[in-house]
Amino acid sequence: MTRSSRPSGPHTIRLVCAVAAAGALLTGCGSDSAERTAQPEKNAVPSRAVPASAPASPSAGLTMDQIKRKALIPAAKVGYEQALRAAVAAAPKSEPIAAELKGTPTSPYWEAAVAASDGTVHSVRVDAVSGRVTQSFTESDDAYDKKRLAARLAKATVTAQQAAQTATEKTKGTVSSLELGDADNGNDKVAWSVDVVTTDDWYKTTYEIDATNRKVLHMDVDRD
């Protein structure tokens, strides 16, 4: 007697259906996860581009002296020549012997000095914006100092303007100071010391110029 195979019962059918449903569920979950990953969230905040670095400060890399020159030099609307003319006008029959730009960017001024042939010095302060004389007085030097200055004046044949011109021919820039004195190397020479500030790097170059022939005796660049 041949025994026929036993038909699948309800338990087997339920098991097959459960496996099929589980497979469909896993397939659906994987697809849904991929879609969520590909699609940006509606409420996501867009990212902002962050600059690589902040813009450099205009004074970055400059020393304190360079920063001071950079602020003071452009603030002076009156140059050394006009300041010396104003000083000579305040003390007639005198010659320029010194001028230096001082003050602050909001109140720059020239501290100038002129001298008579006997060595009497007259100090004059000139506003570097308006060109007006704001202070003027005669210095009370002793007889020895006056005699030495009178000797320098007698030897000097190069004017302050000529010395400044010689310096600026060598270094293009703005004259911030000049003074008549003895040469550093001695030998009883008289020389002008002239400071020239270059406005591209704000360095200061000091020239020592022979006050009898306009020759450059010494030059030094201050990079501080």
Distance CA 57, CA 60 (A): 5
Q: What is the pLDDT of residues 84-123, one digit of tens each?
A: 999 999 999 999 999 999 999 999 999 999 999 999 999 9
As a whole number, the mean pLDDT across the chain is 83
Strands (E), the chain: 95-104, 107-115, 121-127, 133-138, 174-182, 190-197, 204-210, 216-222
Read off the pLDDT band of 215 (50, 70, 90).
Answer: very high
* pLDDT confidence bin for 28, thresholds 50/70/90: very low
Note the pTM of the prediction, 2 decimals: 0.73
Tokens 């030495």 appear where?
Answer: 148
Q: Which helix (H) or strand (E) holds 147?
A: helix 143-155
Per-residue pLDDT reduced to its tens digit, 166-198: 999 999 999 999 999 999 876 789 999 999 999
Span 134-148, pLDDT tens digits: 999 999 889 999 999
154 versus 1: the higher-pLDDT residue is 154
Per-residue pLDDT averaged across 1-8, rounded? 43
